[in-house]
Amino acid sequence: MSQYSILPQQNLVVSHGKAVTIQMSTRKNLDNIHAIQILNNTVDIEYLDGTPNKTDALVSDFQDLIDETENALLDPTVRLTVDEYKQVVLHNISLSFNTELSNGYTTKGIKMNARIFDIQQLITAQTLAIKLFNTTMNIVDYNNVIHNDIPVGVVDEIITELGQHYQTCFDKKQQLRSLVYAAKRKQDLDTIIW
C-alpha cells in the first residue's frame, strides 16, 4: 500500500511514518496547496485559500515527488545537495587519512606511530639526544614497547621514512580532495574513495 502526505509549504513528504525534506519551492502549481494525501491511486488535495478540496487528481501528477521521496528513504545521502555530499566525502577522506596514520608504519623493523605529532616528538627526542652528546637513544614503538640503545643515525632514518610515509598519505589526501572539489555530480563523488 502506497501512502504519502506531501506538505509543500514545509518542504516535507511523509511516507509510512518517515519524513523526508524535499525542496519544493521551485516546483510549479504547489504554492497554493496546503497538503496532498496519496493513498494507493487516490489523491486528495487541500488548498490554502479555501478552494474546495480536489479528489480527482492523478498520482502521475506527483510521481516526481514520490520517486524523490522513495530515493531519499533508501539512501539518506540522496537528500543532500552535491555541495553537501562533497562535505561528507571530504570528511570520509580525512577520517581515512587519520586512520591510515594512526595504524602505524613499520620502518627498520619497528612499527612506529605515523601521525605528524608523533614524528615531531621523535624529532624533538632525537635533537635532545644529540644536544646531550648521546650516540644512542631509547624509542617507544606503536605498541608502547621500549627499544633501547638505537643509534641516533638509525633514528634519523626512521624519522625520514616516517616523514616519507606521512607525505605520501598527505599527497593522496590532497589529490582526492581536489577530485572532490572538481566533481559535478554525486555519481562522480561515489567513485572517490581512499
Report pLDDT digits (tens) over 95-112. 899 899 989 999 999 999
Q: What is the pLDDT of residue 78?
A: 59
pLDDT over 90 (residue 46)? no
Q: First vs last Cα of the chain: how many Å apart? A: 41
Q: Rounded distance, CA 57 to CA 38, Å?
A: 10
Which class for 29: exposed (0-12), middle (13-18), buried (19 or more C-beta within 10 A)?
Answer: exposed
Cell numbers describing residue 65: 515527488
Query: For 58-81, what is each residue's pLDDT tens digit?
Result: 778 778 777 777 776 776 665 678
Residue 142 pLDDT: 93
Query: pTM surpassing 0.75?
Result: no
Element (H, E) at 19: strand 18-21
Q: 2-23: per-residue pLDDT in tens?
A: 788 888 888 888 877 677 777 7
Q: In the β-sheet with 42-47, what is the strand arrangement from edge to edge?
A: 18-21, 12-15, 3-7, 33-39, 42-47
Domain boundary assignment for the chain: 3-79, 82-190
Cα separation, 6 vs 105, in Å, equals: 54
